[in-house]
Structures are given as structure tokens and as C-alpha cells.
Amino acid sequence: MKWNRIVIKLGASILTIILIILLPLGFIMNQLFSGFYYNKVQDQLNDLSNRYANTITSVEDQDILQMFEVLADMTDQEIIIVNEQGTVVANSGLPSLPKGLEIQEDELSRFINNSVVQNELYDEQTDKRYLSVGKPIILDDQFIGGIFVLASVEEMYQSIDMITNSIILAGTGAIFLAIGFTFIVSRKLSNPLLEMEKATRKIAKGDLNTRVSVASKDEIGSLSNAINDLAFELQRYRSSRREFFANISHELRTPITYLEGYANVIENKLYKTEEEKNKYLQIIQQEAKRMSSLVNDLFELSKLEEGRLSLQFEEIDLIEVVENAVSKTKIKAEQKGLTIGFSPTYQIPSIYADGLRMEQILINLIENAIRYTKQGSIMISLSSDNDKVIVSIEDTGIGIPSDDIPYLFERFYRVEKSRSREHGGTGLGLAIVKQLVARQHGSIQVKSEVGKGTCFELTFPIYKGE
Ligand code: ADP
């Protein structure tokens, strides 16, 4: 077990709480108990001293004094009687105030003033503390002496000592309890935290196979799950980044090889005719164009994936957008002897999207349809129901094998690598389309049959003015 700050803080907090409760509680108990006991004894002594003082008729008569001594002997109290000069004339057995001893002057003067004398005294010989209450003895309005009634308060002090000892014992117990509790908590709380700290440091250093093995179902458990998820995501990110760079370098290598090769041919005049030279220059131009569109597509896709591409949302009429896209792609289709069919028969509800980006999606899908169709036509249709609008782009082209369909929207995925290159595609078109559709709250689906054709279906929610 490692003592770290949390464990120490926790232990100290528990200890403080226990002591905060225990100490005032002990103090209050002490005060209450001693106060109660003291008052009770005091009342008793007051009562007795009053009665005795009223009964005594002489402090000179030895018989009377003896009678009081005997009387006191039968109780728990002691009595001391002093004459009008303050000299002890009777003592029921308290060694520190023997007969003949004079009491303190201030006590005597208080007697003379008819006041009660009250104090605590310690008797060395019996090793006991006494509470004493003294009353003046008045006979026929004449001060003739005083009587002290004393009771031992030793028991009270013993009880107070007992309470104090119990509190000290409880405090010591609390310290051990806090240490024990801290030890348990450190195992339950701190060790998993330390394990997580170690794991996150390893993850930060790049060891992404690291996992935390805390399986508890509390907050610590969910934190460890979050760390594991983070490691997993980083792992996925790293491998997709590796794959991405491998793809890019592969995509760039081919045009660069062409560029290098044909530039070399021209530089060393390895062509026979001027016509041949122009063909090579054309290839160089095409490859440079391909590299430029690859870079542009990559840039756009990365902006989309990071959410950095801002769209201009507005209420748009899809018929207009489709018509624009058709007019821009018509020439390409006609060059290949294909027709593009689009004849909306009824009004379609508007959607909330970015008009230009929507056109980009459609141009991309129509150009793909043209690219992968040898003969026939491309049909575009619009339909709607209560809450969505559907745009479908259907061709009579080569089709896509069903095994390839799940990967179609991945970056650089091509069904036939060589054919796609031949057509000048970057392999990023559908990945961009998917991102753009999702950013506009839509979805895209593909249905295809090899040799018969492909249909891409886009669905967008109807704009309801919110
Ligand atoms: P590319 O730039 O290669 O066209 P895309 O991301 O646009 O890249 O498309 C990915 C792959 O999907 C293409 O290489 C092609 O094999 C296939 N594909 C896309 N559209 C069609 C279509 N209409 N008909 C047949 N195959 C298609």
C-alpha cells in the first residue's frame, strides 16, 4: 500500500470529525455531571447547616457539642463548630481542623455579618477534597459562633476522572479506527486510482494496448471504463491514421511515377513524333490535375470530418437544385451517349440544407453514374411523404457487387481499382458525399445489381419552419 495524499487527507478528515464530535461531547458531559452533583451536595449541606445552626443553643456546653459530633458521626458528613472568636470547639473527625484551631479571619467576619461561608478544602491526612458550607449560629439576635457542614466530593472527582479517561480512551480508539478505515479505503479507493494513473501514463507514452482492470460498478469503475474506451479509440485512431497515410502515399505514388516517367521521356527526347510528345504532355497534365483534385478532396474531407466546414443552411427547393446539377453534368453524359432523365410531376416540399453543397452531392453521384455506365440512361426522381423527401439517382451501369456495398463510403475504397483510375476518380467522392449528407441531417442508401445498374437514394427531413 502506498500512502498518498488522498489517503492521508481522508484519514485526517475522519479523525478530525470524530474528535470534533467527541471532545465537545466529553466536555459537555463533564460539565453537566459535575454541575448536577455539586449542586445536589451543596443543597444538602445548605439544608443541614441551616438546621444545625438553628438547633444549637450553646457553643460552650460540652454536652451539646458532643451530641453534634456523635450525630455527624452517624452520617456521611463532618461538622466543625467554632465559637464567636472563630476557634474550633467541636470536630466530628476532620483532622485538618482540630479543636483549638482558629478559622480564617475573612470566614469569621462573614459569619459575624450573618453570611454563608462556602468553599472547597483539601484534607491532607485523609487525602480527600471536601465541600464545606458554613452558617453563623445566632441566639437571641446574638452571634455566638458558626457551624460548618462538610461532605466529601472525592467520589464526584473520581467519576469526572472516569469520564475523562473514557473520553481519552474513545479518542485513542477513534485514532485507531481512522487509521484502520484509511487503510481499507486506501485499498478500495486509492489503489485503483494509482493503477489508473499508471495506465494513463503508459497510454500517454503510446502503449495503447494498456487496459485498466478495475471492475467495480461505482464511479471508479466507470472512470476505468472511460480510460479503456479512450485507449481503444486512440488505438483505432492510430490504425486509421496509419491506413490513411498508407493510402495517400499509394495514391500519390502512381501519378508521381507517371509525371517522373513522362517528364524524363520528354527531357531526353525519347519520343519519335511531335504527336507522341503532345500525348505525353497531355498525360502529365492529366496526372497533375488528378493530384490537384486528390489534394482538394482530401482537404475537403478532413474539414468535414473535423466539423470545420461551415454550411449555409436555408430553405431550399430540391427541384431547382436537381435541375442545376443536371444541366452541369449533361454535357459529360452526352459525350458518352447517355441521357439524363429528370421530370418532376408535382411540387416537392422544401428541405433545410445548404443549396450549393446539395448540388455538389448530386453532381458527384450523377458523375459517378456517368462514369460507371456504358450505355443507357441516368434517371433522377424526387418523391416525398409526410416527413421526408427522397432523391434517387439510378443508372443502367456496371453495378456494384453486394460484398463491396458496405465499404463503398470508406475513403479510397474502389470496387475496381484500375477502372476507377482510368475514369479519373480519387476514391474520395462517396466518402465526401456521405459526410455532406449527414451534416444536412440526411441519409444515403445504395441498391445495386451487377450488370444491371445502381441506385443511390438520399433522404432528407422536410423543412417545417423550425
Ligand atoms: P471514385 O472517385 O473512384 O469514383 P467514389 O468514392 O466516388 O470514388 O466511389 C467509390 C467506388 O464506388 C468507385 O470506385 C466505384 O467502384 C464505385 N461506384 C460509385 N458509384 C458507382 C456507380 N454509380 N456504379 C458503379 N459503381 C460505382
- pLDDT in the model for residue 420: 61
Given a cut of 70, whether residue 419 has pLDDT beyond it is: no
Ordered structural domains, the chain, with CATH = 6-158 (3.30.450.20), 219-306 (1.10.287.130), 314-461 (3.30.565.10)
- pLDDT in the model for residue 4: 57
Kindly give the distance from the C-alpha atom of residue 368 to the centroid of ligand 1, in angstroms, as a whole number: 6
Give this prediction's pTM.
0.60
Cβ 369 under 6 angstroms from ligand 1: yes
Q: Check residues 1 and 6 and name the one with the higher pLDDT.
A: 6
Pairing of strands 388-395, 351-353: unpaired
- pLDDT in the model for residue 418: 65
Lowest mean pLDDT among 81-90, 127-136, 161-170, 324-333: 161-170
pLDDT-derived band of residue 95, with 50, 70 and 90 as boundaries?
confident
- pLDDT in the model for residue 1: 47
- pLDDT in the model for residue 262: 94
- Which residue puts its alpha carbon closest to atom 25 of ligand 1? 399
pLDDT-derived band of residue 257, with 50, 70 and 90 as boundaries?
very high
CA of 373, closest atom in ligand 1: 24
- Report helix angle 191-204 to 219-267, nearest 10: 0
Cβ 444 under 6 angstroms from ligand 1: no
Sign of the CA dihedral with 287 first, then 288, 289, and 290 last = positive
Name which of 379, 307, 392, 301 is nearest 339 in CA terms.
379
- pLDDT in the model for residue 421: 64
- What average pLDDT does the chain have? 89
Kindly give the distance from the C-alpha atom of residue 405 to the centroid of ligand 1, in angstroms, as a whole number: 10
CA of 432, closest atom in ligand 1: 6
What integer is the mean pLDDT of 8-21?
Answer: 82
Q: What is the DSSP string of 389-421?
A: EEEEEEE-SS---TTTGGGTTSTT--SSHHHHH
**Identity of the residue numbered 112:** I
Cβ 429 under 6 angstroms from ligand 1: yes
Given a cut of 70, whether residue 424 has pLDDT beyond it is: no
Given a cut of 50, whether residue 296 has pLDDT beyond it is: yes
Given a cut of 60, whether residue 353 has pLDDT beyond it is: yes
For residues 145 and 165, give the distance between their C-alpha atoms in angstroms, rounded to a whole number: 43
What integer is the mean pLDDT of 375-402?
Answer: 95
- Partners of residue 119 on adjacent β-strands: 132
Kindly give the distance from the C-alpha atom of residue 414 to the centroid of ligand 1, in angstroms, as a whole number: 6
- pLDDT in the model for residue 247: 85
Helix residue ranges per DSSP H, 56-143: 62-73, 105-112
Q: Under a CB-based contact definition with an 8 Å cutoff, are residues 458 and 448 in contact?
A: no
Name which of 451, 445, 317, 313 is nearest 384 in CA terms.
317
Kindly give the distance from the C-alpha atom of residue 337 to the centroid of ligand 1, in angstroms, as a whole number: 20
Q: What is the CA radius of gyration of the chain?
A: 53
Cβ 396 under 6 angstroms from ligand 1: no
What integer is the mean pLDDT of 90-94?
Answer: 86
- Report helix angle 5-55 to 154-185, nearest 10: 170
What integer is the mean pLDDT of 166-192?
Answer: 82
Q: Which residues have C-beta within 8 Å of that of residue 166, sequence separation ≥ 6?
A: 26
Q: Check residues 425 and 63 and name the one with the higher pLDDT.
A: 63
Q: Under a CB-based contact definition with an 8 Å cutoff, are residues 386 and 427 in contact?
A: no
**Identity of the residue numbered 221:** G
Given a cut of 50, whether residue 49 has pLDDT beyond it is: yes
CA of 431, closest atom in ligand 1: 6
